[in-house]
Structure 1
Amino acid sequence: MNYRYEVIYFMYSVFLKDKMGGIGVKAKLILFVVLISTIVLGTTLQRSDEYLQRQNEVKLAVEFFLTFEEARDIIMKHYPELKSDEEVRRFIVDRDIQRRTIDGVEMYFGEFEHNLFTRDPELVKREPEWSAANTLLVKYLLSEYGPRQTPFANFKPAFSPYFNPKDYLVEYTVNTERSLLPEKGSLKIWFPLPLQTATQENIYILEVTPEEAVVGVPRIDGDIAYVLLEFDLSDLKEDLNISVKFTFRHYQQQFDIDPEKVGEYDTESSLYKNYTKSEGSIFFDESFEKLARKIVGEETNPYLQAKKIYHYVVENILYSYMAHVAIEAEGIPESVYSFEHGYGDCGTQSIIFSALCRSIGIPARAPGGFQIFTGQLGSHFWAEFYLPNYGWVPVDTSAGQIATYTLGITEDERQNFIDYFFGNQDPLRFVVQNSVDFMPDERPADAQFLEITLQSPFIESEFGNENLGVTMTILDSFEMKTILLR
């Protein structure tokens, strides 16, 4: 998902699963009390409503930093036929350019220029250089990972959709000047880690520095993966220097699904109940179900229904960078925003795909973290829907949609690229969470810039963070580096 505002237990659970049955009741009770105490002590920091409201006000404004004059100049650069402010304002309304009033002044979404292209094929034709990088990406992904390009050395086994593994080394660093941080109080930082999944394994935490700041152990299973560091700022004499280094393996996916072999859902299972309900960002109501029923028509097979919904999203939900932070601060579910406006980026599209599937009884979710298309981490989300006898099947509407606003490719390449991202996925991924809205067990007391996803670190500061100043300071020095090992 292009959640752009980054400016601003596996080992543990294995121990419990393997060892719990082999220790006495007294030891179990002691361990339970220790765990509960840890949770209680870890959540003692409380925030007043007024404090959180100040943080929320920052979130509402941070993505809207262009004045009308600046927005007008951008628009007229690409649409010189617009001659007056009145024509520009009419264009802004017609194109539904994101804007909001801040301190009595209408301000415009800072990333809207990109959206002019993804929403207007004629503009792409007039300025073909804009899509040059997309052309290279489409051709590269098709040649490397398309279903007809499976290299012999990594031949896909008939019994599994997972093959062609890639190993990655990732390092995070934070280097923040001591003078920019509060003099005292606690500081907590949550860093995203790779999540143990069917498509991602061999996760090794090589280094966390300073080691003594780590709280508990890194969590790499469950629904969201992270490592938590905590500092007592009274003891911090030098600059804040942090390094987190890890490796993981991610597999390519290629599902060969026979619609006739899709089993029946166990509607009483926890999986079915959890992933067909309306909740959080993946909200739906009868209007979603009405649209989904219209999309699928008379089709009753869940695989073919999901395929129809995939193509609907690709063809109708226009790709657009989103003001996610403000949308979250306003309490608007992403699925509702996309349903009402007809656009969205990778996260929003994945969410509305999931909501439409759920509304007609197909379990679906929006996992994500990062893509590694260019060799470095780029924030990204996609979707998955569940099929009996097959498991979680990947869907990436926004990746497939790239071909719809790209020049320099054939119509066969365009259609093959769109088709590929339903039921298949490249290995250039880094999964952090199984779906949106999952939060760490030790939930931060401070508001986060974007709480539905852990892509840049979550930060909690006991003092001096009312306006998210500490958060911005640390994120400003946060860097990520990625190396493909094989």
Structure 2
Amino acid sequence: MYNDLEYLKVSLPEDILKLKSNGDFIGTIRLIDLKLKKEIPFALRKRLEIEKNIIKVIQREYPYSFEEALSIMQSNVKNFAKDELITLQEESAADWILVNGKVYFNESFYGNLLKTRPDIVKRLVDKDARLANEEREQLLIDNIKMMKEKGEVSYFIHLRTSLKIKKEYSRVNENIKVHLPLPIGYRQVKNINILKTQAKYISSHDYPQRTAFFEEKLRDDHEFSVEYTYENYLKYVNLDESKVNEIQPSFDTEEHAPHIMFTPYIKELAKELIGDETNPLIKARKIYDFITTKIMYSYMRKYFTITNIPEYAALNLKGDCGVQALLFITLCRYVGIPARWQSGLYVTPYYVGCHDWAEFYIEPYGWLFADPSFGGSAYRRGDKESWNFYFGNLDPFRMPAASEFQHEFDPPKKHLRYDPYDNQVGECEYDDYGLLREDFKVKLELIDMHQI
């Protein structure tokens, strides 16, 4: 099933697209099942089978009707009017779909507006939320200043991740398998120590999507957990385009279906951005500048529901951290710049949560970091120093658990993962089906963090 994901590059039949676009999910599944009963091409069959899983996921992604979304905004934002929500919807700032012909908003639409709309944040009823956001920004600004002054920075980080199956999805005494992410020992990460866990198996320290694996009979209110420490070491790189070598490597420049694909639009966009430029560092910077200044940050529905993530970002001019990173990687690869994925957690005393970013390779510097999401945020608030920093450099507040996009676990899951591309909060499955993200609770705890 995992290898079947490449068939997402196959288009859906028109009649199925019509029903799906209108949010008639019951009708969509019925029509898919009718087609699957017939003798149809193998590639189309695989595509339709995957679409059934996508429909299952997407139905739970958009819980708020227009009236419910308006109530959320008016309860939290001073003097919020109905016309404002309509405008946000039309500008695609508040993600929505049609469900049986009616507008429904994504579960994260409110959080997305707080992240991307300073004017709304200023009107929050809860002033503490605004102050917390300002503290997080200042931490990054101070770190950049310190890295430039000292040339490097190192942090010790102690984390605990725990997972519980929600009561309504708990099958006590049934066999269950759980994967929890762990830091990968490569690039900036050193001295990883697993302190406490009852995991049955832990994948190797450099495995591309590293996890602690549990397999046991589920007990009532059981908690799966792993506690670990690691150290992040980052050196500041001052890039100079005049020092770039004429000969550059060609590894990590290939396509990887269904997402890292050189579609006609990606090719046209790359040509428009790069023009006649031949210096690979300047090429990468042009791509970074486009994404950070033209792609609006937006929380996303689950990646599994998007058939081509980089093209989605390039067409809709919006996307979250991972969507922006994949667009950067795809455009870099198309123009001959090696680029790859890195993701896991963003970890500070103020917040621990999921985050994705990218790496790209330029001789003589080697592998460099690029975080279009953080760079774009800095650009929007007028912080040019931070904007420039996140092209080539990275802050030390990360826990990388994935060094490759769309990579299988060790050991692999039997059922298709709810997120078959990334490795951030965990995956669970019974013998007969895999659980969705909404079926379990995850707690990310920072126990200690200090500069070395």
Q: CA deviation at 1:120?
A: 5.4
CA distance in 1, matches of 2:52, 2:276: 50
Aligned 1:338-349 pairs, distance under 5 A: 338-349=313-324
Q: Is the 8 A contact 1:284 1:336 kept in 2?
A: no
CA distance in 2, matches of 1:313, 1:177: 38
Of residues 214, 228, 232, the one that matches 2:200 is: 214
Of residues 424, 447, 451, the one that matches 2:393 is: 424
Aligned 1:13-52 pairs, distance under 5 A: none
**Matching residue of 1:227:** 212
Unaligned runs of at least 5 residues, structure 1: 1-47, 157-162
Q: CA deviation at 1:455?
A: 0.7
Of residues 294, 299, 306, the one that matches 2:272 is: 294
The one-character-per-residue Cα deviations of 1:54-85 (angstroms, maximum 9, x if unpaired) are: 7543311222110121234456786969667x
The one-character-per-residue Cα deviations of 1:360-419 (angstroms, maximum 9, x if unpaired) are: 11111221101113454211011111112222100111112223444xxxx5xx111211
**Matching residue of 2:223:** 241
**Matching residue of 1:40:** none
CA distance in 2, matches of 1:219, 1:192: 12
Q: Is the 8 A contact 1:124 1:405 kept in 2?
A: no
CA distance in 1, matches of 2:79, 2:190: 52
1:372/1:312 CA distance change after superposition, 3 Å:
same
Q: Is the 8 A contact 2:266 2:311 kept in 1?
A: no
CA distance in 2, matches of 1:303, 1:53: 39
Of residues 246, 254, 260, the one that matches 1:282 is: 260
Name which of structure 1's ranges 387-396 and 436-445 shifts more when overlaid on structure 2: 436-445
Aligned AA for 1:101?
A: L
**Matching residue of 1:65:** 63
Aligned AA for 2:448?
A: I
Q: CA deviation at 1:278?
A: 4.5
Aligned 1:384-463 pairs, distance under 5 A: 384-406=359-381, 414-463=383-432
Pick the structure with greater CA Rg. 1
Of residues 251, 254, 258, the one that matches 2:233 is: 251
Q: CA deviation at 1:177?
A: 8.3
Q: CA deviation at 1:90?
A: 6.5
- State the aligned residue count: 402
Of residues 92, 105, 108, the one that matches 1:95 is: 92
Aligned AA for 1:454?
A: N
Aligned AA for 1:382?
A: W
Of residues 105, 113, 121, the one that matches 2:110 is: 113
Greater relative CO, 1 or 2 (CA 8 Å, sep 6+): 1
CA distance in 1, matches of 2:161, 2:278: 46
Secondary structure of the structure 2 residue equivalent to 1:371: strand
**Matching residue of 1:4:** none
CA distance in 1, matches of 2:297, 2:395: 20
Secondary structure of the structure 2 residue equivalent to 1:227: strand
CA-atom RMSD in angstroms:
3.3
User: TM (normalized to structure 1)?
Assistant: 0.73
Aligned AA for 1:451?
A: P
Name which of structure 1's ranges 312-321 and 434-443 shifts more when overlaid on structure 2: 434-443
Secondary structure of the structure 2 residue equivalent to 1:432: strand
Of residues 296, 302, 314, the one that matches 2:292 is: 314
Aligned AA for 2:449?
A: L
Of residues 180, 183, 190, the one that matches 1:194 is: 183
The one-character-per-residue Cα deviations of 1:114-166 (angstroms, maximum 9, x if unpaired) are: 4446665665677796754444333332223326753xxxx43xxxxxx3221
Q: Is the 8 A contact 1:71 1:108 kept in 2?
A: yes
Aligned AA for 1:277?
A: E
1:166/1:375 CA distance change after superposition, 3 Å:
farther
User: TM (normalized to structure 2)?
Assistant: 0.78
**Matching residue of 2:304:** 328
Percent identical pairs in the alignment equals: 24
